[in-house]
């Protein structure tokens, strides 16, 4: 049983492609939390795991790609689901692998898209309770990319 003050650490990967688009994937309709909603790659940090280790593991599990480098932490938010507080850290990252062919976990995700800054309204589709969380995180990634455009990206 979860204590009321317990929280779960969560990481999110805002995967950037060479055109500064951000990767999103649709959660399957059968998911308990946020069914049929757009989401970023990520999940819970396992016991004894660092945030960046969890980030790399989640990227590989959900897409088959490998974390190349972390560019920036662009969001750190708290949210509650099923009575559990989640503390989420979202990072803009680059990955290695075939970006045209992610290996989606088909029981968890049904499709994917690469979203430009001008296309973030796609993320409004089926958002739970009118939440803008994913849209806001993707927008934060695009803002960071726009502010660093032409500058050398600093590795965290």
Residue pLDDT, tens place only, 115-151: 999 999 999 887 766 678 899 999 999 999 999 875 5
| CA distances, 91 to each of 1, 35, 49, 70 (Å) | 30, 23, 16, 7
Fold of 7-148: Nucleoside Triphosphate Pyrophosphohydrolase (3.90.79)
Can you read off the two tokens belonging to residue 129?
């309770």
Question: What is the predicted pLDDT for the residue at 150?
Answer: 52
How many CB atoms lie under 10 A from the CB of residue 36?
Answer: 14
Residue pLDDT, tens place only, 30-76: 888 888 899 999 999 999 999 999 999 999 999 999 999 999 999 99
What integer is the mean pLDDT of 92-107? 95
Question: What is the predicted pLDDT for the residue at 5?
Answer: 64
Question: What is the predicted pLDDT for the residue at 125?
Answer: 81
Average per-residue pLDDT in the chain? Answer: 89
Label residue 156 by pLDDT band (50, 70, 90).
Answer: low
What integer is the mean pLDDT of 98-104? 96
Q: Which residues contact 24 (CB under 8 A, 6 or more apart)?
A: 38, 39, 40, 112, 113, 114, 115, 122, 123, 134, 138
pTM of this structure: 0.89
């Amino acid at each position: 049983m979860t204590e009321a003050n317990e929280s779960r650490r969560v990481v999110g990967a805002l995967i950037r492609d060479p055109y500064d688009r951000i990767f999103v994937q649709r959660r399957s309709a059968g998911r308990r939390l946020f069914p049929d909603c757009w989401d970023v790659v990520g999940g819970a940090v396992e016991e004894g795991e660092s945030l960046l280790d969890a980030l790399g593991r989640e990227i590989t599990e959900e897409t088959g790609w490998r974390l190349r480098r972390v560019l920036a932490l662009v969001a750190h938010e708290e949210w509650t689901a099923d009575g559990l507080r989640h503390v989420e850290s979202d990072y803009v990252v680059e990955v290695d692998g075939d970006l045209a062919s992610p290996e989606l976990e088909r029981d968890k995700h049904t499709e994917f898209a690469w979203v430009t800054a001008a296309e973030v309204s796609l993320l409004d589709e089926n958002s739970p309770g009118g939440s803008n969380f994913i849209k806001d995180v993707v927008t934060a990634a695009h803002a960071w990319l726009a502010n660093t455009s032409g500058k050398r990206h600093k590795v965290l």
